[in-house]
Amino acid sequence: MILSPSLLSADFSCLGQELAQLEAAGLHWLHLDVMDGAFVPNITFGPPLIRALRPGSGLFFDVHLMIEEPARYLEAFRAAGADLLVIHAETDRHPQRTLSEIRRMGLKAGLALNPGTDLEMLRWLAPDLDLLLLMSVNPGFSGQAFIPQSLSKIRSTRALLDMVGADHVPIQVDGGACPENAATLMDAGADILVSGSAFFKYRPYDARLTAFMAAVQGCTERPSLVNARAWRHGVSQSV
């Protein structure tokens, strides 16, 4: 399992220090939740904040775009220092074009699905995907309860991706993840867990990372996880 802590739950008064502590604690990924107040009922931050954090951090910047018509901003997020751009299927009428554009820029391309969004489109978009994000809460806020039926959706997604020859595409699960449900999520097919409130509330961060990793110790790793582990900050841009 890869743990991607969500910046949304970090201390915004000292983000540079927070990122340095994450790296020192052994984290490799950082999940950045961009919200526009239109697609979701909350506003967070955009490219300027990511640009400010980039020079001081070697973390892999996993940027979750909860914004309408994300294709308008791809270049701004690339220039700011994103490594992975995840767009929501519900925000883009031409996701195949946007995903291939992200890859053309040298970044990893991800698609996110809301809890109520069907999987069918994955049959046709799988060749353009580096990562699939399943929302296990309705996007907009951290600290919400995990939606129980997300578990069977994770299983169905893994089965579908494997069936269409996309066994290398990792599944990221976002919302309500914690050490208590981490093994169940991973057994269902999750490779990458996003954690906001269940991570940042518990210091020190190295002990919290250990708690998450200990929880999934007996779980089997999939080729999709091995693939995602090979991604590193700076590597995707140089492709």
Dist CA 64 CA 62 (whole Å):
6
Q: How far is the CB of 233 from ligand DX5 (least distance, A)?
A: 19
Select the span of 10-18, 152-160, 189-197, 220-228 touching ligand DX5 (CB under 6 A): 189-197
Cβ distance to Zn ion smaller for residue 101 or 174 = 174
Neighbours of 186 (CB within 10 A): 24
End-to-end CA separation in angstroms for the chain: 25
> How is residue 139 written in tokens?
């996007």
Which residue from 169, 196, 168, 176 is spatially nearest to 31, judged by alpha carbons? Answer: 196
The strands making up 108-113's β-sheet, listed across from edge to edge, are 2-5, 192-195, 171-174, 131-135, 108-113, 84-88, 60-66, 29-35
By Cβ distance, which residue is nearest to Zn ion? 64
Asked if 33 is an active-site residue, the reply is yes
Select the span of 10-18, 46-54, 136-144, 184-192 touching ligand DX5 (CB under 6 A): 136-144
Per CB under 6 A, does 139 bind ligand DX5?
yes
Dist CA 132 CA 77 (whole Å):
19
Active-site residue, selected from the candidate residues 36, 83, 130, 174:
174
Kindly tell me which residue out of 107, 174, 186, 233 binds Zn ion, with binding defined by CB under 5 A: 174
Q: Give yes or no for a cis peptide into 139 (omega within 30° of 0).
A: no
Per CB under 5 A, does 33 bind Zn ion?
yes
Per CB under 6 A, does 5 bind ligand DX5?
no
Q: Which of residues 34-73 bind ligand DX5 (CB under 6 A)?
A: 64
Residue 175's binding partner out of ligand DX5, Zn ion, none, with CB under 5 to 8 Å set by partner kind: ligand DX5
Asked if 11 is an active-site residue, the reply is no
Binding residues for ligand DX5, rule: CB under 6 A, are 6, 8-9, 31, 33, 64, 137, 139-140, 142-144, 174-177, 194-198
